[in-house]
Structure 1
Amino acid sequence: MTDLLAHVVEHQGQHLVHQPGNPGNHIEGEDRALERFQKFSLSKFLGGPDPDVAERWLENMIDIFAALHYSEERQVTFAVFQLEGAACSWLNVIRIKWKRELTPRTWINFMREFNAKYFSPLVQEKKEDEFIRLRQGTQTAAD
């Protein structure tokens, strides 16, 4: 975690990144992107057994990244800033695994690992059932 933070701080403003989803196609430096991200004041994720906490944190991250139109790698980089404690230790294991398996550092891969760690198959099934019940409850007879 500290290595990643040091890397970003060291390279602030040195690398300009073209953001195709950015309105007006503005070029935004790492320092400006980090500043915009931090304005959301997202809470840290500590890990832990509560899937509702993990789900809220992940949903908040997804919403923020959708608004900011960041690249997948930048999304992973900035999500890492929000991990502490057991979640940070988990990420260190994932980094080693990704390096060994040559897994790309993408947001999709991060979410896949996050879901596998913080949502057991039973919890995932329960969430799917809740979603189906909610969906069926909002449908009319015409649906």
Structure 2
Amino acid sequence: MTDILERLADRQGSGPLNQPGEQDSGEDRALERFLKFNPLKFIGEPDPEIAENWLERMTNIFAALDYTEDRRVNFVAFQFERVARAWWDMIRGKWERAQTLWTWENFTRKFNEKFLPPLIHEKREDEFIKLKQETLSVAEYEGKFTKLSKYVPGLVINERRRIRQFVQGLNVEIQEGLAAAQIFTFTEALEKAQRVESARMQVKDFHNRKKNFPSRISG
């Protein structure tokens, strides 16, 4: 914690502060909230799966925290060590010289260029195109669909295409249950698919109980 606060103070010391006490107090509280999520360190492992999972975890944390863009970048950089720290120090120097905005978009783009090579993006694109529900629940399928869709923005460029791609990957029986439904948003597609899934499960359970009932009586 002390090390983090020292680095934060160094970063903030480069700019003027109108009210240092209030600014420091606000940053301390924001940092405390961030650390309560137990963010993982990242040392720059060569395994792209580790980098991908780490960035996803950081993204999810900041989705729950209403932080400014530069604060997100500042805080996430505190989790870097060793190779990742050396890389970030280089990027930070370039940004400061070029006066690049400290935005989450700029950060993730640079991070992906370094730790998620094009081959990984191609692999994820292929996984998305071939993704089918099969033995997954609708919720599990949606989770994979959403995670992989960020690698193929062209296929989910608008709501209509996103819905169509999602429905095409569902099992046939669920697609049939959605055939007559009016769907205008992705959220509606997910909710209605889950309702169809739930109804089919109830019918299946009913028939299983009915099939086993005579055997229990005869026994």
Amino acid at match of 1:105: W
**C-alpha spacing 1:52/1:9, structure 2 compared with 1 (3 Å):** same
Match of 2:9 among 3, 6, 22: 6
Count of residue pairs brought into register by the alignment: 132
Give the distance between the partners of 1:124 and 1:102, measured in 2 at CA: 29
Query: In structure 1, what is the equivalent of residue 113 of structure 2?
Result: 116
Give the distance between the partners of 2:38 and 2:21, measured in 1 at CA: 22
Query: In structure 2, what is the equivalent of residue 105 of structure 1?
Result: 102
Bigger helix fraction: 2
Offset at 1:101?
2.3
Give the distance between the partners of 2:124 and 2:22, measured in 1 at CA: 43
- Unaligned stretches of 5+ residues in structure 1: 17-27
Query: In structure 2, what is the equivalent of residue 65 of structure 1?
Result: 62
Which structure has the bigger radius of gyration? 2
SS in structure 2 at match of 1:35 = helix
RMSD: 2.8
Amino acid at match of 1:130: E
Give yes or no for contact 1:73–1:106 (8 Å, CA) kept in 2. yes
Overall identity of the aligned pairs, in %: 52
**C-alpha spacing 1:96/1:8, structure 2 compared with 1 (3 Å):** closer
**C-alpha spacing 1:65/1:13, structure 2 compared with 1 (3 Å):** farther
Greater RCO between the two (CA within 8 Å, min separation 6)? 1
Give yes or no for contact 1:13–1:31 (8 Å, CA) kept in 2. no
Bigger strand fraction: 1
TM-score by length of 2: 0.53
Offset at 1:67?
0.3
Offset at 1:8?
6.4
2:38 matched to 1:41?
A: yes
Amino acid at match of 1:68: L
- Unaligned stretches of 5+ residues in structure 2: 132-144, 146-167, 180-188, 190-219
Give yes or no for contact 1:8–1:30 (8 Å, CA) kept in 2. no
